Amino acid sequence: MNPPYPPPIDRVLYTEEQIEQRIREVAAEITARYRDRSLKLIGVLKGSVFFLTALARHLEIPVRVDYLAISSFSASKSSPGVVRIAKDLDEPIEGDDVLVVEDIVDTGLTLRYLLQTLAGRGPNSLGICTLLDRTSRRLVQVPVEFRCFEIGDHFVVGCGLDHKQYYRNLRYLAVLKPEAKG
């Protein structure tokens, strides 16, 4: 059965215009930080694709893009934060200025694993940029340098964030109705 459309949302957190405006601001910060350098954006599939694309369009420095995918076993309470790379980067990152682009940093477990792995490959620098940051649920500290929005403890969809793989394509960020989340 297809999921309902329009989606069963409780409320819109940020509109398309607010998100676009904030992405422009963060892109300007990143441009200033990496001026006279080139940047490799690493997107974590699949959630970050929408944000990465919107962000990259506003960066005014030379940019390359690569992607990786992670399988997370965080659902298992016995071994939270167990992750592995399901699809690796196409290119090495040795000597590169790397910015990992995320849709949301929640517990930080996925990102901690990712940073450890990438740091071992000898990048010149390794930063994090996320669309959403939910620091209230953080279990491990990760150095988030660029964030668009801090959000509270509610499940959100849109702008790459999914529920059962749906609703990534929403142009706004919304809180899903608790009963819809199941």
Q: Are 104 and 130 in contact (CB under 8 A)?
A: yes
Bridge partners of 128, per DSSP, are 100
**Which CB sits closer to ligand IMP, 96 or 133?**
133
CB of 103 to ligand IMP, least distance (A): 5
With b for 16 or more beta-carbon neighbours within 10 A and e for fewer, the 61-74 pattern comes to bebeebbbebeeee
**Which CB sits closer to ligand IMP, 27 or 132?**
132
Q: Please state, in angstroms and rounded to a whole number, the distance separating the CA atoms of residues 97 and 104.
A: 21
Run of H or E residues at 24:
helix 16-33
Annotated catalytic residues are 106
CB of 145 to ligand IMP, least distance (A): 16
Residue type, 3: P
CB of 157 to ligand IMP, least distance (A): 6
**Which CB sits closer to ligand IMP, 31 or 155?**
155
Bridge partners of 102, per DSSP, are 130
Which residues lie near ligand IMP (CB under 6 A)?
47, 74, 102-111, 155-156, 161-162
